[in-house]
Amino acid sequence: MVIRTEGLSFTFGKQQVVKKLSLNVPEGSIYGFLGPNGAGKTTTIKLLLNLLKIQHGSIHIFEQDIQTNRISILSQIGSLIEQPAIYHHLTGKENLINRALLLQVPMNRVDEMLALVQLTNAAGKKAGQYSLGMKQRLGIALALLADPKLLILDEPTNGLDPNGIIEIRELLIKLVKEHNKTVFISSHLLAEVERMATHVGIINYGELLFQGSIAELQALSQPMICIETDNTVDAANLLKRNSFIIIDVTDSYVYLPYTSKQQTADVNALLHNSGHAIFSIGKQQKDLERLFLDITQKA
């Protein structure tokens, strides 16, 4: 495991922000750390980077305890937390040079990083004049500068346009596949994480509600029968009277749990014989968005 936390808890004043968190981030994974705003994602990331003192529990990164091996661990991590930390009075390139001086990285890496995040043309412009997307890209360049083994990114696509989001996503996938990096990325957008993550952890109110591979998350999602009909309320009542379980009724659709093909045929026949017009009927996987909402609302 690249990141392993055990019973990690953190309290701000009287409010417990992180509760007994046990994260397991395997090597070579893109770990999507999902949760609504205020769920405790940034606090967890600050704990991982030793910016906040651990109150309870432990953190091991590269199988070393962060409390006793802070510098050797941090030298293998590139991070971006919330808004990128950028000196506005310096140009984009100077921001990278400053970091390169601190990390003793060869200066040619600076130009490589500028090219990688497509800021070569804006390299001489003051970073204060950058758009939010450009700042975010510069932040990612700063995180990647020292060629770290582990990247910890807190909402890195915030403020990026769709093209920018796709570029960052492809870059992260490439880093993991071709350069064997591990990426820990937090987000409140499931759709974003779903497209690139290999592993997912879902957190809400500081508690880890789910952790596993993306396939395991999808397996949790129960299939349903989705029926499009003219009078959904009457149809639902009829099905209920005939001992079918109803999950949801909307203006156009009725949803019930899928068990077998035969059951779908029975439902169809029952509704048809009772005079309901059926426009469509079929098996539907509960999408992850709904699953994510279910998981986070249950807590």
Partner 1 sequence: MKGFILSFRSEFYKSRKTLGFWASIILPLFICTLIFIGFYVKAEKLAGMPPMMLWLQFAGATLGIMGSLLLPMYTIFIAYSVNSIEHKADTWKSIFGLPIARWSVYGAKYLYAAFLIFLCLALFVLFTIGFGNLLSVVKPSLRFDNYHMEKELAQVYFKLFLSSIGILSIQFILSLIWADFLKPMGIGFICTITGVILASKNWEYCYLFPYSHPMEAITTMMHRGEAAANGIQIDVFTKDVWVSLIIGAVIFIAGYFIVLKKSVK
Q: Which residues here bind partner 1, judged by CB under 8 A?
A: 46, 49-53, 70-75, 77, 79, 81-83, 85-90, 94, 97-98, 101-104, 142
Closer CB to partner 1, 86 or 116, in the complex: 86
Closer CB to partner 1, 101 or 233, in the complex: 101
| Least Cβ distance, residue 57 to partner 1 (angstroms) | 16
Closer CB to partner 1, 102 or 115, in the complex: 102
CB atoms within 10 A of CB 177: 11
Strands 253-257 and 248-249: antiparallel
| Least Cβ distance, residue 158 to partner 1 (angstroms) | 14
Closer CB to partner 1, 142 or 271, in the complex: 142
Q: Return d(Cα 169, Cα 138) in angstroms, integer.
A: 15
| Least Cβ distance, residue 49 to partner 1 (angstroms) | 5
| Least Cβ distance, residue 136 to partner 1 (angstroms) | 14
| Least Cβ distance, residue 147 to partner 1 (angstroms) | 13
**How many CA atoms within 13 Å lie on the side-chain side of 198?**
15
Closer CB to partner 1, 46 or 286, in the complex: 46
Q: Find all residues with CB under 8 Å of 32, minimum gap 6, and list them.
A: 185, 186, 187, 193, 194, 196, 197, 199, 200, 201, 214
Q: Return d(Cα 159, Cα 73) in angstroms, integer.
A: 29
Q: Return d(Cα 38, Cα 140) in angstroms, integer.
A: 23
